[in-house]
Amino acid sequence: MIFSRKRAGDGRQVRDERSAEVVDGSAAEAPARGPYDVSEAPDGVQRLDLGSLHIPAVADVEVRVQADPEGVIQQVVLVHGQSALQLGVFAAPRSEGIWDEVREEIRQSLFNDGAAAQEAQGEYGPELHARVRTPDGLTDLRFVGIDGPRWMVRGVYQGAAATDPSAAGPLRECLDGLVVDRGQEAKPVREPLPLRLPREVAEQAAPPVEA
C-alpha cells in the first residue's frame, strides 16, 4: 500500500544544533529539529498518523507501508526518486540511549553475513555505512540512529542517499520532522513500538464482509 503526500516545501533550514528557548525568563532546552517526542512536536504540520510514528507530509515523498490484515504495520519506507529511507522505532530506557549498542550489533550482524561496515560521523552522530549483497546485486546502506526520551528511531538509507548524504534532501526533511508517540505503558527495551494504519485507511483496505 502506498501513501503519497505532496505539498510545497516550507523552506525550513536544517540545523544540527539544539537551540535553547526562553520560557518565563528561564532557558529551556528545545530541539531545533526532530525527530521530536510527541510532547515537544511543533504544531501546524500535516502528518500521517501511523500510531507511534507521525510522518510529516513532504513534497514528492511517497510513504510505502506493508501491513497485515488487521492493519498492523510491518514496514515503513519513504521513497523519493532513486533514494529510500526505511524507518523503525523502538522502546528505550528512561536513563540512557541505546543507539551505541544497537549500532554495534548491526555492525556485527553485517560482519557475520560477510559485509564490512564502516562507522562515520553523520549529522545525527555516529552512523554505519555498508555494502551488502542482494538478489539484485550489491547495495549500499547507511544506518542512522536517534535516541529520544524512552525511544530510539532507526533509519536505513538506500540508493543515492546511502553514499551521498546531501542527496537525502526530502527524505532527511521527513526524518527531521518525524514525531514519536511513545505512549506511557512499560515496554521491554528494544521492542518495536506499535505502528498501525489510520482507521479510515484500514477500513478501506479490509476485505468486504460476506452476508
User: DSSP states of 95-127 as a string?
Assistant: SS--HHHHHHHHHHHHHHTT--EEEEEETTEEE
pLDDT one-digit tens code per residue, 123-164: 999 999 999 988 888 999 999 999 999 999 999 999 999 999
pLDDT one-digit tens code per residue, 177-207: 999 999 999 999 999 999 999 876 655 555 5
pLDDT for residue 207: 53
Residue 12 above 70 pLDDT?
no
What φ, ψ does residue 78 adopt, rounded to 5°? -100, 140
Write out the three cell numbers for 38.
510527541
Model confidence at 13, pLDDT cuts 50, 70, 90, reads very low
pTM beyond 0.75: the answer is yes
pLDDT one-digit tens code per residue, 82-134: 999 999 999 999 889 999 999 999 999 999 999 989 999 999 999 999 999 88
